[in-house]
């Protein structure tokens, strides 16, 4: 039985998050510059997105560029931004063909103007698609996101629009950048690292974590299917006992 045949389509994670790690190491192993790994990582993004659509996963969020990534060498950051612009432009047709809506979270105003304009243009073109929402976490930091949410709520309390005792977990979540999507049920990280790296810290509270040693440019939809099969073998208790679930 193939991996795809093992997957129960009625028990899919509605929201899948991925930390795409290992592009630089992949390139280094081949004696190439780091940007070569990022370029090949685009192929993995395309195949993973199409695999998610094939399965019927409604939300896919990819950690594309963290706030901390701005500290990388200037030439690499510039190359990444150029690659982001060209990739979003080239992949618009793929998104349309697969019914994928593009979304983005993070401190988007920190992106170069050309990059932000291309991102906004593709988001507008794909806004009517409904098979899957692909969210790119760009210039994203979960601590930044949580701090911004706290600031918004604090302003409402200060201005008398909200009472402190009325603040709930649900209300706080509504002030996050992911307010319009469910929390991820499954998070995948490639390259053999076992960290969350400031990614969706609030949203991952009850998420199943899956780590693979594959470097991101080698990751394909079969690897995605393998992660989903593993996810479906787990018992998700949310603090309860196995007996309470049965």
Catalytic residues: 21, 69
Phi, psi of 193 (to 5 degrees): -85, 145
197 HSE (CA, 13 A, CB side): 23
From the CA atom positions of the chain, what is the Rg in Å?
A: 19
State how far the Cα of 227 lies from the Cα of 189, in Å rounded to an integer. 10
Note whether 123 and 86 are within 8 A (CB): no
H-only helix segments in 130-180: 142-158, 169-173
Q: Which two tokens stand for residue 123?
A: 């988001």
State how far the Cα of 45 lies from the Cα of 51, in Å rounded to an integer. 10
State how far the Cα of 82 lies from the Cα of 189, in Å rounded to an integer. 24
């Amino acid at each position: 039985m193939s991996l795809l045949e093992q997957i129960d389509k009625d028990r899919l994670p509605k929201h899948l998050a991925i930390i795409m790690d290992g592009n630089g190491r992949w390139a280094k192993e081949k004696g190439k510059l780091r940007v070569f790994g990022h370029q090949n990582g685009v192929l993995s993004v395309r195949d993973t997105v199409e695999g998610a659509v094939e399965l019927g996963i409604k939300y896919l969020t990819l950690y594309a560029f963290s706030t901390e990534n701005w500290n990388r060498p200037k030439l690499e950051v510039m190359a990444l931004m150029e690659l982001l612009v060209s990739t979003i432009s080239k992949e618009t047709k793929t998104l349309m063909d697969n019914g994928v809506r593009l979304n983005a979270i993070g401190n988007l105003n920190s992106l170069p103007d050309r990059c932000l304009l291309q991102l906004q243009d593709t988001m507008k073109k794909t806004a009517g698609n409904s098979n899957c929402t692909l969210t790119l976490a760009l210039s994203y930091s979960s601590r930044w996101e949580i701090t911004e949410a706290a600031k918004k709520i604090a302003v409402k309390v200060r201005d008398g629009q909200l009472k402190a005792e009325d603040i709930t977990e649900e209300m706080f979540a509504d002030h996050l950048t992911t307010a319009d999507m469910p929390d991820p049920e499954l998070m995948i990280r490639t390259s053999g690292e076992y960290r969350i790296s400031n990614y969706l810290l609030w949203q991952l509270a009850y998420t199943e974590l899956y780590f693979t040693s594959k470097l991101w440019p080698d990751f394909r939809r079969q690897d995605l299917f393998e992660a989903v099969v593993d996810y479906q073998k787990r018992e998700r208790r949310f603090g309860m006992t196995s007996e309470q679930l049965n």
